[in-house]
Amino acid sequence: MAGSRLVHLFLLILFFPSLRAAPNTTAVVSRIAFGSCANQSAPQPVWEAIVGFDPQVFIWLGDNVYGDNKRPFRVFGRERTVGPWRNVPRFYPATEEELRRKYELAKANPGYAKLRERARVIGTWDDHDYGVNDAGKEYSGKVLSQRLLLDFLDEDEDSPRRKQAGVYASYMFGPEGKRVKVIMLDTRYHRDPLLSDGTILGDPQWQWLERELRGPQSEMTIIGSSIQVVSNLSATTRPLFYVESWARFPREREQLFRLIDSKKWGLIY
């Protein structure tokens, strides 16, 4: 996913009574913040604004760090990373130690550390924290990347996410009558090649998602995807350039829309 050097912040305000402490599963949640595309090596003053918003839940939507390495932009020369004569990939995976250090740097940011003290932090990944730009199921380092991401998110050692293939997960917040369900998708671990019109989620995750959407009811459901769902930008810009999105897998996107449409209760965002 193409990302900037700053965290992209999105705030969703749910009109429930305010609560200041980080939520447990029965506390009413009224403030949720979303973030992505956080270059751990760049200044991140945005954390001050996020902490000032005082979210009870913060959701990472991917590229939580830029874990892969990047060669210079070169059209000509011995190593050509872009253009019709490209002979080496511009992005390549980090070693385990490099990726671990990048997560440690991100976690040590004072602003982010303050947020972690005050809010419940959950999340999924995108390509640059998964392992390498635009990668899918073919990426050989995904098992290691999953472990390091879950360490970064302070996932319990006995969490089901540490035993499954992929980092998809769901969370329920709030008491009966004011429940908010958050569903985090994994658009990397099982994704077929970009031009295949194959699968994004893979059969096990599709089955899980269907159970989640038809499971315990909530007044509001939030589905988090690390790539664009509604946008058709790639369809209007190709062949000049492509943007990763569900639109590049039209059958998968239609299946997602049908599944959401079949949900008979609550609101979905």
Region 165-180: mean pLDDT is 96
- What predicted TM-score, i.e. pTM, was given to this entire model? 0.88
Q: Hey, how many other C-beta atoms are within 10 angstroms of the C-beta on 21?
A: 9
The pLDDT > 70 percentage for the chain reads 86
Please check whether residue 2 lies inside any domain of the structure: no
258: enclosing H helix or E strand: helix 250-261
Region 85-103: mean pLDDT is 96
Q: What is the pLDDT of residues 41-58, one digit of tens each?
A: 999 999 999 999 999 999
Please check whether residue 3 lies inside any domain of the structure: no
Look up the CATH number of the domain holding residue 162. Answer: 3.60.21.70
Please check whether residue 177 lies inside any domain of the structure: yes
The mean of the pLDDT values for the chain is: 89
Please check whether residue 1 lies inside any domain of the structure: no
| Domains identified in the chain, total number | 1
Query: Which domain covers residue 88, as residue numbers?
Result: 8-268
β-pair type (8-13, 31-36): antiparallel
Region 190-207: mean pLDDT is 96
- The token pair at 136 is 């899918």
